[in-house]
Structure 1
């Protein structure tokens, strides 16, 4: 596609950047009047931001999106768009683009007719509709596909059409509900970068719902991690991965080794934990309680270093332990090795597939080490 098909977004003024574009204020939602599926949800979204609502099924993320779209009504709280409350505003008057997982294309219409539909209901002229449809097809790299029907397109092409239809009337806000869930891995990755490219080019604000943490990390400016109707942490992808605030976020974002134990000493910026298996570990107290409190230690597999025998490397690490190899999985660029270590038979380490790294074997005894900064003491 010619890059000129997607115009550069105009530079935002400092006032626009500082203005909150969309806002959830103390929003709650109950379907039966008893159980809350969304509990006190607060979120400020800046103009042009890409915010993802991430969490397991039933965590409340899609309900929040549907309330912003107008398909659900908050039980309590307010939703604002451009500083105006929209709780009572019907969906068709909110000016919001929407992309669904099942595409929701009209099968009896051509691609061009699908894209023209939201423009026709807004009573644009035929010439303006034709111009905007051509421009939207260019955005999603489907020039020349206007005369085809949805059944003549692949799944990835249909999703591009659904995205183009959400963008064709030039909304300020686009909502996406698990839009890539029906695509295979390669198509899904391709569409992730396509959506990210379009977002960067147009400067449109996007709220995206997914349960796929890799998808969220790839695309988002900020991610709100949901569980049981509550946002557990709201932060950038890097912060969520490197500095999870609780055990749920640590386990939901990326792979994570968990070791259970009890806090026995606080040492300034560090704490000492006795594991249930008896070993003593030095860690970073993030959400650990006082002495005697139960805690979950969180440790990323790639932060665990395989130590060679008698090479002195162990002196660099605050924590060194010996375990037994249970399983080695070849993953191309790296090896994923499962150890029995510190009372955990599912302890994972990742080692690069490179020269100088001899292959490990099940039953082999190995020594590993990690620093206290990489080991986070979280809630129990």
Structure 2
């Protein structure tokens, strides 16, 4: 990526509140112009702190943050020309919707006529053009979030930051707003940095996702690559559902390896993050990649499993099995593919292909 494609650059950024514990450690991150980048991770992983340093509400303990060719970490928040959308909307209750949206333009000293036309455009973009005269308290949570979005975009900033903006909404509205924000992003081409702990939200909305853990980015990639090709156990477990089998590395041959399970079974997988022969390994297999009964016959890896439980989820069923001593091995099947004869306590063959098993570090494997 050339420097001209980069809008924001974190260079060796660190943050500590007590001088000892690093909440963010040595963060190096380039954010591309026009991309939708999500910072994803559990609470305390450093994602929100990184966003707040970019916004100017937190100061880095070390390192530099650049916006284009301007060093940002010394510029006060109100001079950064960055749009912000928070989970709690942060609207002014005593101002109408139109006044709330107009606020950033007034602060910038824009003329009344121009403000009026820009506010109309921004409200039309979030489908609230008829609500300008209402007050935030007269609106639903979803509508208030749209107002907050219009206010963040009205002054046409080159960068918009969103901190868990949909966290307070119910599931259906949340999913609807995810698509709205995605469409607005595509329409405007503005650069968005979005923070969430919700992995499905991150996968749905983003061009790229940076997975944070313990103050460091574990992996940054396109959603599909993160899901299909996690590069360590933390990412495999945090993104989507994941089956883990603990074993030891028997041998490695180029990109693939043989792993011995505790009861002696030998499996083959892609060698992604492994030590030498005899070292502990965690095998990662996605639930939808496992084949049952006759469908497993052509698979390179084959085991048997005892059916423990069926969990129906409308369009698909999750079948929990005991496999090689692991009690929580899950297979996901579309309802149409489910064998109606299958019942709890049945012992059945199952299998998966080498390219769908990843041998990773044993961290948190048990």
- Aligned counterpart for 2:54 among listed residues 68, 78, 91: 68
Which residue of 2 is the match for residue 334 of structure 1? 316
Q: CA 1:97–1:91 in structure 2 vs 1: closer, same or farther (change >3 Å)?
A: same
Conserved 8 A contact 2:273-2:360: yes
User: Do structure 1's residue 38 and structure 2's residue 20 form an aligned pair?
Assistant: no
- Aligned counterpart for 1:322 among listed residues 294, 304, 311: 304
Q: Where has structure 1 moved over 4 Å in runs of 4 or more? A: none
- Aligned counterpart for 2:157 among listed residues 165, 171, 179: 171
Which residue of 1 is the match for residue 64 of structure 2? 78
How far residue 18 of structure 1 moved from its aligned partner, in angstroms, is: 4.4
User: Do structure 1's residue 198 and structure 2's residue 184 form an aligned pair?
Assistant: yes
- Secondary structure of the 2:277 match is coil
Superposition TM-score, scaled by structure 1 size: 0.93
Which residue of 1 is the match for residue 264 of structure 2? 278
Q: Distance in 2 between matches of 1:86 and 1:314?
A: 56
Conserved 8 A contact 1:262-1:294: yes
CA deviations on 1:242-294 (whole Å, 9 max, x unpaired) are 10000000000010000111001123332111112432111110001110111
How far residue 356 of structure 1 moved from its aligned partner, in angstroms, is: 6.8
Which residue of 2 is the match for residue 346 of structure 1? 328
Which residue of 1 is the match for residue 342 of structure 2? 360
Which residue of 2 is the match for residue 148 of structure 1? 134
Give the RMSD, CA atoms, in angstroms: 1.4
How far residue 86 of structure 1 moved from its aligned partner, in angstroms, is: 1.0
- Secondary structure of the 1:368 match is strand
Q: CA 1:378–1:355 in structure 2 vs 1: closer, same or farther (change >3 Å)?
A: closer
Which residue of 2 is the match for residue 52 of structure 1? 38
Which residue of 2 is the match for residue 300 of structure 1? 286
How far residue 84 of structure 1 moved from its aligned partner, in angstroms, is: 1.0
Q: Distance in 1 between matches of 2:138 and 2:10?
A: 40
- Secondary structure of the 2:100 match is helix
How far residue 372 of structure 1 moved from its aligned partner, in angstroms, is: 1.1
Q: Distance in 1 between matches of 2:115 and 2:251?
A: 69
Residue ranges of structure 2 left out of the alignment (5+ in a row) = none
Query: Which moved further from structure 2: 231-240 or 268-277?
Result: 268-277
CA deviations on 1:210-269 (whole Å, 9 max, x unpaired) are 000000000111110000001000111011001000000000001000011100112333
Conserved 8 A contact 1:247-1:379: yes
Q: Distance in 2 between matches of 1:278 and 1:213?
A: 35
- Secondary structure of the 1:283 match is strand
Conserved 8 A contact 1:328-1:360: no
How far residue 357 of structure 1 moved from its aligned partner, in angstroms, is: 3.1
Which residue of 2 is the match for residue 214 of structure 1? 200
How far residue 300 of structure 1 moved from its aligned partner, in angstroms, is: 0.1
Conserved 8 A contact 1:264-1:292: yes
Q: Distance in 2 between matches of 1:295 and 1:262?
A: 5
Q: Distance in 1 between matches of 2:119 and 2:64?
A: 35
Conserved 8 A contact 1:22-1:83: no
Q: Distance in 2 between matches of 1:347 and 1:45?
A: 37
Q: Distance in 2 between matches of 1:349 and 1:168?
A: 47
Conserved 8 A contact 1:213-1:253: yes
CA deviations on 1:141-196 (whole Å, 9 max, x unpaired) are 11100011111111110100010110011101000000000000001000000000
CA deviations on 1:5-45 (whole Å, 9 max, x unpaired) are xxxxxxxxx99x94211110010000111110000001111
CA deviations on 1:299-333 (whole Å, 9 max, x unpaired) are 0000001123xxxx544111111111111011111
User: Do structure 1's residue 120 and structure 2's residue 106 form an aligned pair?
Assistant: yes
